[in-house]
Structure 1
């Protein structure tokens, strides 16, 4: 085996090990996406991110072909009591042995410039990028009928 082949094999093994690590420590539950309608230019995704590892991790970015721009967002209440959405460039900490909820009215994935409508029952491909665990790919189901405005008290759809 040539040096190049050995290097390529080692790199492939390391990449697969990183993906396996992500799947072993980071799990995604109760994910769903929604938009306000067929002509909407924006949408959002919500989910519970569980970190079963021994060290904190951080969701640092998100990618998807479903929109021109995809960002991590939160809601902030200004001095007048008005809620504003804003990008969270530093991402979200996912504590070791704990979880972080992305929910309506709080932290969430924001899709801007949708490439097509979010249709009930379809899925949206999303890649979550973590500081330590690397990339986790999720097919997020679109649920335009869900009514939970405050969070995911139960994990059923």
Structure 2
């Protein structure tokens, strides 16, 4: 008969000696885990820095490599500064009581600008005028409905016989060589300041439309061809 040998296994936990040296395999495993632990801790460090950052502080990129935006609200929403209208070759007719101003308005902006009113210390009132043909064929001055519209990157010419600025109730006679300063207002509240010289000239006669609040006074010498500097 064969004899069966039974081996009894001990289930009690083994106790390691505290002074037992670590195996080379265990040391290698710890070396590999160290960089991984550092990577896991990096997002926590970045999160803490970002939470304490002041506005405008540059925050480092995240551990995943995605760059963090550093644009400020001021840079994103900076107002677009409008470019001022200019009055080129401008001039005002010498005279007393009332007179007119002419020139070429230039708009360098990307959008149309509409001038709706104006003022000057030289006169009690400034109106935007144009010429209209009457039933009898005569041309009379009347206020420009809707104001002066200057197209984007374009010009609007103010000339005798067409659109012009009317100065009414002059505070003093205007003589050749003086300067007149205008403050013009556009839709939206934009303002533009122009200073132009006074010139003496002679020419054709033009009259106001009866629709004018000032009545129908006569305006003489409005020809640009005989203007003298």
TM-score, structure 2 normalization:
0.52
Deviation string 1:110-156 (CA, Å, 9 cap, x unpaired) is 011110011100001111112257111111110113878368xxxxx
Match of 1:30 in 2: 89
Q: What does the per-residue CA deviation read over 1:21-54, in whole Å, with 9 as the maximum and x for residues that have no partner?
A: 243xx2220000014x3xx310100011111111
Unpaired stretches in structure 2, ≥5 consecutive residues:
1-77, 204-221
Report what 1:108 is aligned to: 164
**Alignment check: 8 A CA contact 2:92 2:100 kept:** yes
Does 1 or 2 have the higher relative contact order (CA < 8 Å, sep 6+)? 1
- CA radius of gyration, larger in: 2
- Equivalent residue in structure 2 for 1:21, among 79, 82, 85: 82
For residue 76 of structure 1, what is the aligned residue in structure 2?
132
Q: By how many angstroms is 1:106 displaced?
A: 0.6
Superposed counterparts of 1:40-119, under 5 Å: 40-119=96-175
Query: CA 1:46 to 1:139, structure 2 compared with 1: closer, same or farther past 3 Å?
Result: same
| d(CA) in 2 for partners of 1:131, 1:33 | 24
Q: Classify 1:63/1:89 alpha carbon distance in 2 versus 1 (closer, same or farther; 3 Å).
A: farther
Separation in structure 2 between the aligned mates of residue 140 and residue 55 of structure 1, nearest angstrom:
25
Give TM-score scaled by structure 1 length: 0.74
RMSD of the TM alignment (CA)?
Answer: 2.5
**Farther off after superposition, 135-144 or 124-133:** 124-133
SS in 1 for 2:82: helix
Question: Is the Cα–Cα contact under 8 Å of residues 22 and 133 in structure 1 kept in the other structure?
Answer: no
**Cα–Cα, structure 1 residues 124 and 143, in superposed 2: closer, same or farther, change >3 Å?**
same
Larger CA deviation: 130-139 vs 82-91: 130-139
